[in-house]
Structure 1
């Protein structure tokens, strides 16, 4: 008999609706897994087993009364600790917000609760979502459930949504929310053999989400497969008048229109993504993905995105610049940490609070951002980066005149060991080389597991689509998923 915790979103929802098991049984099973794995994986900052059980009881009571159930009814999920949750600590994995308990609910989490989902807890992440390995968290690094054969060396689950990806891969949650600023949903999904989608910028409200870089941040769904991501994203997305960047347009029924048949579609292969020094295994997996796209009926076309080479540099100017502005609010005055040395004045309090509250990576990005926004360097760096961003968007627009979606690797390597890149920020930033361009252009993109490397670690393929064409991205993802038949899971050691 299949364990309840081996089921995904669709199977749990449908099983609860059919009376095969109760929502309470589902919540109890996942609560048990969360508790058992916490010491080893550190995926959660705060576990909320009672919240999961309360939501389950509401669903079970509604079913007993014959009431209509929501699209996520009975599905307990993990909530990235960047989303404000009423009455539950929201820390952004930072000492600066440790102990902060909001009295309001983010729009995305509220929509999920209204759809019938329950909360297993708040998931660990890189501090203020700044990182690619989940090592910058004030609450300690997340440990991937995956290991290299014959080695006990802890591996990264990716970042910043490392808690989300680890929880899904280890069967601690069937799905989780993530946020993606430069690849923070897609890269962790690739590292852990899970699936994640970043929708078009503006599809999901940013209200109640702790800000990193406001013109880039976007909430998205992470789950076991493409169908589950589609179900969850439908519940998360939608117009929100409280978010000025929210798109005022209806949410399509992506799940009902899912199809892995790519006949009549053109899949673009950007030649600039064949970067120098790319691992042969990544190249081989990409070629396999191209063959799968052809098998699904697509015509494969090589395209050019000539300004891709400047994307990473532009991103690491724009994102830190916005971060330095967004994080100025953490001053020790209104909420969050306050460090007030004896006899200190206001400026001393600011300095002491920020020195104690922000981690090293957050400080590094604030310093970079403040530098590029300063009077002498604004035009040389920030203005130029914004112009490059426009050119990158235009490259994508030109490519999409010829093709329907783009297919690339998600990350340049498989998961690396914790501590491996910690002393080299540039090496860490290069993990985002394939994901950043779509973020700069605000495009929908997703990662789907495609296979294993020689060490038995997951590799992912990325699909990038036109603005607002989540359906095209999901369909291409389903085609790859159907061909890859990725069913490998980490051997339980925790």
Structure 2
């Protein structure tokens, strides 16, 4: 059964076993959980018995458009070596979709603006970077929102097709190492805080 997981759980889980438990809770079906992912086989995390034999994994270093720091790439390659050592078949491949950042920002910022509308008179307490996103969301038109939804649906269909051949897609989680606290982005080469999360927002969309 094809499935894909993008784990960005810093602060939510301290071990692989805890991360798996959290994913299990998130994917549990129910009347209010219509966006949950499909069921997947139980994962053995005991180093003495764990095996990934039979899994076909697609590995994308950069999704075809992300600039990844060398130290991040080296650590990711080490993780790929470990997946191979556990018996997985790993194929270097890109899903081949264009950067969906504009669609993500339209949907995310518009959603944030809607959710925060009840506290309109208290916006000064929000993080400045977050507030800029909310203000952008207020300016998004219905046509722009619908166009972003169309991109989202197309990307979801593309990834569903991708996972007919690959059980997992593995990428780096972030393109750069952690940077100084209190900053929205690592440096001025990044347009906004969304820019340094290029491996996560495409799968927020799907």
With the length of structure 2 as denominator, give the TM-score of the two structures.
0.77
Match of 1:326 among 115, 120, 134: 115
- Decide whether the 8 Å contact of 1:310 with 1:388 is kept in 2: no
Structure 1: state its 5+ residue gaps. 1-182, 195-221, 332-352, 442-494
Structure 2: how far apart are the matches of 1:420 and 1:427?
11
Match of 1:266 among 52, 56, 61: 56
| 1:428 corresponding residue in structure 2 | 193
Match of 1:291 among 81, 85, 89: 81
Identify which of structures 1 and 2 has the higher relative contact order when contacts are C-alpha pairs closer than 8 Å and 6+ apart: 2
Provide the aligned length of Structure 1 versus Structure 2: 195
Once the 2 structures are TM-superposed, how far is the Cα of residue 363 of structure 1 from its aligned partner?
Answer: 2.5
Structure 2: how far apart are the matches of 1:408 and 1:264?
20
| 1:407 corresponding residue in structure 2 | 170
Once the 2 structures are TM-superposed, how far is the Cα of residue 228 of structure 1 from its aligned partner?
Answer: 2.3
Structure 2: how far apart are the matches of 1:367 and 1:413?
27
- Decide whether the 8 Å contact of 2:65 with 2:99 is kept in 1: no
Once the 2 structures are TM-superposed, how far is the Cα of residue 248 of structure 1 from its aligned partner?
Answer: 9.2
Structure 2: how far apart are the matches of 1:235 and 1:248?
10
Structure whose residues are more often strand by fraction: 1
The C-alpha deviation readout for 1:327-365, integer Å capped at 9, x for no partner, is 12225xxxxxxxxxxxxxxxxxxxxx2443444233212
- Decide whether the 8 Å contact of 2:76 with 2:171 is kept in 1: yes
- Decide whether the 8 Å contact of 1:240 with 1:246 is kept in 2: yes
- Decide whether the 8 Å contact of 2:129 with 2:184 is kept in 1: no
Structure 1: how far apart are the matches of 2:96 and 2:134?
30
Runs of 4+ in structure 1 displaced over 6 angstroms?
none
Once the 2 structures are TM-superposed, how far is the Cα of residue 310 of structure 1 from its aligned partner?
Answer: 2.3
Which entry has the higher C-alpha Rg, 1 or 2? 1
- Decide whether the 8 Å contact of 1:271 with 1:305 is kept in 2: no
- Decide whether the 8 Å contact of 2:55 with 2:167 is kept in 1: yes
The C-alpha deviation readout for 1:362-408, integer Å capped at 9, x for no partner, is 321222111113xxxx32x3222212112221221121011110111
**Root mean square deviation of aligned Cα:** 3.3
Match of 1:389 among 152, 167, 183: 152
| 2:138 corresponding residue in structure 1 | 370
Once the 2 structures are TM-superposed, how far is the Cα of residue 261 of structure 1 from its aligned partner?
Answer: 0.7
**Distance change (3 Å), C-alpha of 1:224 and 1:322:** same
Q: Secondary structure at the match of 1:409?
A: coil
Q: Secondary structure at the match of 1:263?
A: coil
